[in-house]
Amino acid sequence: MQQFKSIGIIGAGAMGGGIAQVAASSGHKVWVYDTNKNALASCQQKLADILQKLATKGRIPDAKEILDRFSFVSDLADLSDCDLIIEAIIENLDIKKSVFSALEKIAKPNCVLASNTSSLSITSIASACEKPERVIGIHFFNPAPLMALVEIIPAIQTDQSLPGTIKNLMLQWKKAPVIAKDTPGFIVNRVARPFYGEALRIYEEGIADIPTIDWAMTEIGGFKMGPFTLMDYIGHDVNFVVTETVFQSFFYDPRYKPSFSQKRLLEAGWLGRKSGKGFYDYAENAISKPAEKNEALGKKIAERIVTMLINEAVDALYLKIASKEDIELAMTKGVNYPKGLLQWCDELGSDYVLANMDQLYNTYHEDRYRASVLLREMGSVNAEFSASVS
């Protein structure tokens, strides 16, 4: 089995630094590369501060031992002895392909080249390489040291043994790895789209305001954050762009259609918490509008969004994007949903979920609300995913 002694990280931003911390904490020598020397210095200082705090709290035995495993470099050639190089830079396909083409010129023959992209085609990135069989997606979630889930995405060119090898490595790093087909958004960013999109639709239709929708999803739906709070937390420069990318990549399937309400926030520079204003105002003296705590309305909102989420998860299973187990793990570990969506479907009854989808379709007559073929098959006989689908 391939040994990964030395790990290279392309990009000294928050994600690159987080992945570097995970790798170094797992005993690897880590090389962090960035063309911006200020970014490298900042990354080095942040890692030193974080590791010192962890040592002070007794969570790691020695900060210096881990810090000594890092090298911060601005010459790509310094990564030439790495066994695995993970790219964690801007979500731009052309830039990523350029980086991978350059990497191949300096990387040793058996070095694995990985992208941390959240939604771009691994197959397309791999096409920039003469040896695309060693290219794979390894998608961490932010913050990488705290989030357990890692999506592993083989390109169609990837060596068939590589996903299993990377899965074993991620298990050594104490992560929860899942394997996903190379389709837009992979598992999490595909299945989670209705959490944002349907909430925005409900708001734009005037069914409920933003605080009420957030209240319904946390208090009735059981989610840790409401969709608008979460979008503000992620940042609209990230969340909207992922939605737009998935929408375009799915040939403009209306299920993934972005919202003008969110686009306008992005255009205004109201990115959420990071800018002080988004769907909510985060100024000290801002007055928050209270939610309308109407149980009937709240149940209607939560049920509609959960129905759409379940349908998306069922469709991902139908299209063999991932196994049932990996879809459930991805949504509980990647975005902290209160339960797996297929389990949720079983609890509600697949016939009930199908009826909800059909009611939405009959109301709107939009392809956005089409039920998955598999949901229709299961719902027609009220079958359970726990018993019927592997």
Q: Give which of 155, 266, 254 is closest to 197, Cα–Cα.
A: 254
What type of residue is 125?
A: I
| Per annotation, catalytic residue among 87, 104, 151, 328 | 151
Are the C-beta atoms of residues 20 and 145 closer than 8 Å to each other? no
**Which residue of the set 189, 239, 311, 356 is catalytic?**
189
* Dist CA 339 CA 110 (whole Å): 40
* Six-digit token string for 87: 């790219």
> How far is it, in rounded angstroms, from Cα 196 to Cα 190?
11
| 139 is an active site residue | yes
Structure tokens at 244: 């737009």
Asked if omega into 194 is within 30° of 0 (cis), the reply is: no
Q: How far apart are CA 339 and CA 333, in angstroms?
A: 10
28 is catalytic: no
Burial of 313-326, coded b for 16+ CB within 10 Å and e otherwise, reads bbbbbbeebbebeb
Catalytic residue, chosen from 121, 139, 239, 311, is 139
Phi-psi region for residue 61, left (φ > 0), alpha (ψ -120 to 50) or beta?
Answer: alpha
Residue of 25, 115, 116, 118 marked catalytic: 118
- The answer to whether 101 is a known catalytic residue is no
Query: What is the C-alpha to C-alpha distance for residues 376 and 386, in angstroms, rounded to an integer?
Result: 16
Phi, psi of 146 (to 5 degrees): -100, -30
Residue 189 annotated in active site: yes
Which amino acids are annotated catalytic?
118, 139, 151, 189
